[in-house]
Amino acid sequence: MLVVEEGLLGQTFLELRRCGAGRAECVVVWTGPVAGPGHVDGLLHPNHSASAAGYDVDGGWLTATALALAAERRSIRAQCTRTPAPPTTRAPTTTTRSLRCPVCSRS
Ligand SMILES: [Zn+2]
């Protein structure tokens, strides 16, 4: 179970709506201190490209962020994504995505 710091959930929804604008996917990650594994007190918005059908996180951003988080004794707790309403022409699909740490390869 994750305990999310007050205000972070609202900030997450604002960021996802602002970036994707209802037309493209967006992703943000929640972070927290390594010493508090269930605690979430930070939000990061990766450099990413996106369309209505997916997004790609910039590998350079992910590497730099993983190193910075490790130096600060912090880690990524979860990723939150927003997908625009599917167009009527989109074939039904199910996809699973996970972010992997480029340093330790854990998701
Ligand atoms: Zn975004």
Instruction: Say which CATH number the domain at 35 has.
Output: 3.40.140.10
Q: Is residue 68, in this structure, part of any structural domain at all? A: yes
- CA–CA separation, 102 and 1 (whole Å): 25
0.75 surpassed by pTM: yes
User: What is the domain range of residue 43?
Assistant: 3-82
Distance 76 CA to ligand 1 centre (A): 16
- Does residue 48 lie within any of the structural domains? yes
Mean of the per-residue pLDDT values of the chain: 86
- How distant is the alpha carbon of residue 106 from its chain centre? 15
Statement: residue 72 has pLDDT above 80: yes
Cα of 87 from ligand 1 centre, angstroms: 20
Sequence letter at residue 55: Y
Tokens of 91: 């074939």
- Is 62 inside a domain boundary? yes
Of the CA atoms within 13 Å of residue 85, those in its CB half-sphere come to 3
46 CA distance to ligand 1 middle (Å): 7
2: CA distance to ligand 1 center in Å? 22
User: What is the DSSP code string of 42-106?
Assistant: EEE---EEEETTEEEE-HHHHHHHHHHHHHTTEEEEEEEEE-PPPPTTSPP---------TTT--
The number of domains in the chain is: 1
Residue 99 lies in a domain: no
Q: What's the pLDDT score for residue 100?
A: 56
Q: Which tens digit of pLDDT belongs to each residue from 80-98?
A: 999 887 666 555 554 545 5
Bridge partners of residue 11, in order along the sequence: none
